[in-house]
Amino acid sequence: MKFLSFVIIAYLFGSLPCGVWLGKGTKNIDIREHGSKNSGATNAYRILGPKYGIMVLVMDALKGYIPLYLANEFGLGGVEIILLGLVAILGHTFSFFLQFKGGKGVATSLGVFLFLMPKVIGVLVLVFILVVGVTKYISLGSVICSALLPILAFFMPVRDSATRTPLVIISLVVGIFVIYKHKANIVRLMEGKENKFNLK
């Protein structure tokens, strides 16, 4: 019952459409109607501005981190924690509050794996900054980091080494899922039509 309760909690946390609510609450803008029409942090950054974009990034990451932290505090661990992370990511991409639509899962995955394997995330953040800094493509940074996630999960230290195999499997599943959600971006990258990231 405890695990099932946290499945619901993780899904509801993941489902919170922070970018949509913040846009409507602060500027009366539905970010799903502008830019890339995505509800995530990158589109929020472009449409609402840097301050709100960063706020959405942090909130979306916390949607992945907080349920796992709470579950751990209540005595859950191992594979159960990993599965709760997957539920939170699915909540973000298939949000109950957005008719089961949502973002691409990058920021929420960041929060989930920050809890599960912080050293891996530290490396991936550096890779992401390097890729985006050189190319100006956030989507490319996200795709590359998603591809590297299961590889680093296999080789680098994780929070619970006893769960390395399921962590690698979930990392592979999440990585493939995030890359799939970026399929339109990948096509635009190949065609040279992808929007570049601008700090201003």
Which pLDDT score is estimated for 81?
95
Distance between CA 78 and CA 8 in Å, rounded?
18
Query: How much is the pTM?
Result: 0.91
Model confidence pLDDT, tens digit, residues 15-57: 999 999 999 999 999 999 998 888 989 899 989 999 999 999 9
The arithmetic mean of pLDDT across residues 148-155, rounded, is: 96
The arithmetic mean of pLDDT across residues 85-94, rounded, is: 96
